[in-house]
Amino acid sequence: MITRTAPPVSNRLPAPDMALAERMFDELLARTGDGPGVTREAFGRGEQIAHDMLAREARLLGLEVTVDAGGNMLVTLPGRAPDGKRVLMGSHLDSVPVGGNFDGAAGVLAGLAVLSGWCKAGLRPRRDVSVIAIRAEESNWFPWSYVGSKSALGLLPAEALEVKRSDTGRSLRDHMADLGLDPAQVAVGVPQLRPETLAAYVELHIEQGPVLIGADVPVSLVTGIRGSFRYREMKVIGEYAHSGAVPMAWRHDAVVAASELVVFLQQEWERMEAEGHDMTATVGILTTDPAQHAFSKIAGEVSMSIDIRSHDKATLDEMRRRLHLALDRIAAARGVRFETGPLTTSAAALMDGHLLKVFGDAMAEQRLPHHAMASGAGHDAAVFAGAGVPSLMLFVRNQNGSHNPDEAMEMADFDKSVQLLGAGVWALAEECDSGEKP
């Protein structure tokens, strides 16, 4: 049986290059700013600016820079005694439209700050250590979860290359080709990263909720990531009619049916939690057709979205069963039709126990309060974990949530988190699979 022995985490590692990270945050904001926030569109101008900046700074440090067929970038510090396994840290560089400057980018710049600190101190770990900048994590651009990480691992189906970007209407394949990438290689599922060559994947990310603010701690270990099922393009089809001329019994009101569905989702969420399930339910889109709706018309169509998340696949399956029973019931009662549109899913993922221990030990050595929590949002770490790569996330305290211009990660919290990242990654890069100390 192979065992892994990690050496003690040293608190005498060189400090991460925080000046580099802060300068790059400022440049990202200046070059990809979009009114009050930032826009780094996947496989577009904003994301490419961020990738080019990373490559420029990495080359100045003497690090190796490679770009795979799907556009993911690896920045590597070669190990002094590589064993065929690298430690990977990073995140994504795209953003939602008019989003915040830290979501995704914090994880990439944290990794670069760690490597810069080591390079300037002349320090090389035993194993290769790489920072990965992952493409297209934000699925609002292309309606497919985790495009970049799935393409890197050879898991992106060929049909995903035909989905259209939300702002241009052009396919993922076309946008990849525009950047000189190789969508044909992505389409046949050629892995750019093989799980057996990865000792670990560690992703630092801002927290996207208020938990760490409430707990008054700067950084947390993440124990797991919720999976989901989503109907992004659901429609409720009823019948347009005059608001004053049609009695209740003759109406086929899409708004009433959609409203009953929203209430059902909220009530069922409460029931599921009372039964001990972990779950969230969200209707993020709910609108009548502006080309047809009117003050004096019964609405004949409503567009809506449904997003159900849980750490447990059985919970997702059960909630989907209950949802479809409710759709049938409401449709029959209200004389409407539900068109669910395409179903998209993402798998739940547990973080690796060994990595949780390594980073827990690093927390103790750095005298950080030990805090652990689950992630309600999806992240690329879920794809790596699902592919069998030992994976872990770190959350950094952040006010005002994410996906908005008001993200407010404090640099003091980021500094502590990056020091923790460096200490844990160093331990992983120094450990031996044989069980013998290096």
Instruction: Note the pLDDT tens digit of each residue in 301-358.
Output: 999 999 999 988 999 999 999 999 999 999 999 999 999 999 988 888 999 999 999 9
**Residue 194: count of CB within 10 angstroms of its CB:** 11
Q: Which amino acid is at 227?
A: G
DSSP string of 332-355, one letter each residue: HHHT-EEE---EEEE--EEPPHHH
Percent of the chain residues topping a pLDDT of 70:
96
For residue 247, what are its two tokens?
């009695």
Distance CA 355, CA 72 (A): 24
pLDDT of residue 353: 97
Place of tokens 């890069």: 429
pLDDT of residue 436: 42
What does the pLDDT look like over 386-407, one tens digit per residue?
999 999 999 999 999 999 999 9
Long-range contacts of 412-415 (CB under 8 A, 24+ apart): 412/218, 413/218, 413/219, 414/18, 414/21, 414/106, 414/110, 415/16, 415/18
pLDDT, average across residues 204-212? 95
- Would you say residue 69 has pLDDT above 90? yes
Domains of the chain listed by start with CATH number: 18-226+348-430 (3.40.630.10), 228-346 (3.30.70.360)
Place 433 in a pLDDT band, splitting at 50, 70 and 90: low
- Are 269 and 215 contacting, i.e. CB atoms less than 8 angstroms apart? no
Residue 357 Cα distances to 7, 9, 107, 259, angstroms? 12, 11, 20, 46
What does the pLDDT look like over 139-189, one tens digit per residue?
999 989 899 999 999 999 999 999 999 999 999 999 999 999 999 999 999
Dihedral sign (CA 233, 238, 241, 247): negative
- Are 336 and 184 contacting, i.e. CB atoms less than 8 angstroms apart? no
Crossing angle of helices 18-32/105-120, nearest 10°? 140
pLDDT of residue 377: 85
- Would you say residue 68 has pLDDT above 70? yes
- Would you say residue 435 has pLDDT above 80? no
pLDDT, average across residues 236-247? 97
Place 376 in a pLDDT band, splitting at 50, 70 and 90: confident
